[in-house]
Amino acid sequence: MSEAAEELFPSRHPGWPASPGPLRVAAGTVALRPTRLRDASAWSALRLRDRAYLQRWEPTTTGDWRDRNAVLAWPAQWSALRGLARRGSALPFAITVDGRFAGQLTIGNVVRGALRSAWVGYWVAESRSGGGVATAAVALAVDHCFTRAALHRLEATVRPENAPSLRVLEKTGFRREGLFERYLDVEGDWRDHYVFGLTAEDHPEGAVAALVRERRADYA
Ligand code: ACO
């Protein structure tokens, strides 16, 4: 729904569907949009190729990586995400670079009422990494969550060893709030995670505007 349409017909789940961006960074022009059924082949190709790079950081799941990331596995995953979005508990975005599928950014566990909070998680294809894509994607999502999606707080949990992800959160203004010990089953064991938080008050000018001011990104 467009911003104008949202004003006329306020949604029960504000801020969805949405396509925040674009924003230009070293790697190209970054934007977010809802994941689509037809992302299957691009999603699967990247996930199968980048297995070693992704698996280290993702929750342990049953079954073989090739089966779970095959083209045929996407419709069920996409449909589950779409169901969560329709119920207002997630904003499942694809990250695109120059219009091509390059990863995912998910806003999950959206809780409204007096909390108005959610978590953010993301991955970017290895071939696109190191060029500011995740930083741009997180900044676009932060601004979207604190404006159109009417949230007040975002949370992210990261393993202390995940230097690139820690840097993404630092560049987008998240505060480290503590350590969750033995928090999540990753790569077959319970792993400690830092917890990071950000509230709307932390970014009075907006996360994208801060990146642009710091010359990390430019309006496309
Ligand atoms: N040590 C320190 N810094 C590093 C290292 C390293 N080994 N490797 C990269 N970096 C820095 C980069 O230099 C860059 O910082 P800079 O701009 O100051 O130079 C930063 O880390 C990465 O920033 P981006 O380029 O915006 O991020 P990118 O598009 O490369 O994506 C991401 C980062 C998403 C973590 C990617 O590496 C990835 O998908 N990894 C696998 C999955 C994953 O770890 N997802 C995050 C899980 S945690 C969560 O979702 C909250």
Ligand 1 center–CA 163 separation, angstroms: 7
**C-alpha–C-alpha distance, residues 17 and 36, integer Å:** 12
The answer to whether 129 and 95 are in contact (CB under 8 A) is no
Distance CA 179, CA 160 (A): 9
Tokens matching residue 46:
């990247």
Alpha carbon distance 91, 35 (integer Å): 9
User: Residue for token digits 């900044």?
Assistant: 139
pLDDT-derived band at 61 (thresholds 50, 70, 90) equals confident
Over pLDDT 90: what percentage of the chain? 90
Model confidence at 8, in pLDDT bands (50, 70, 90)?
low
Residue 171 has pLDDT above 70, yes or no: yes
Give the per-residue pLDDT at 13: 87
Q: What would the mean pLDDT of 36-52 be, rounded to a whole number?
A: 98
Instruction: Give residue 139's pLDDT.
Output: 98
Residue nearest to atom 40 of ligand 1 (CA): 123
What rounded mean pLDDT belongs to the chain? 95
How many CA atoms does the CB half-sphere of 105 hold within 13 Å?
28
pTM tops 0.75: yes
Reply yes or no on whether the pLDDT at 220 is more than 90: no
pLDDT at 177 over 90: yes
Q: Tell me the per-residue pLDDT of 9-27, one tens digit each, with 9 for 90 and over.
A: 555 789 999 999 999 999 9
Confidence at 146, pLDDT banded by 50, 70, 90? very high
Residue ranges lining ligand 1, Cβ < 6 Å: 53-54, 57, 121-124, 129-135, 156, 158, 162-165, 167-168
For 178, the token pair is 């503590």
User: Which residue has the least CA distance to atom 27 on ligand 1?
Assistant: 134
- The 10s digit of each residue's pLDDT in 89-105 is 999 999 999 999 999 99
For the segment 78-135, what is each residue's pLDDT rounded down to a tens digit?
Answer: 999 999 999 999 999 999 999 999 999 999 999 999 999 999 999 999 999 999 999 9
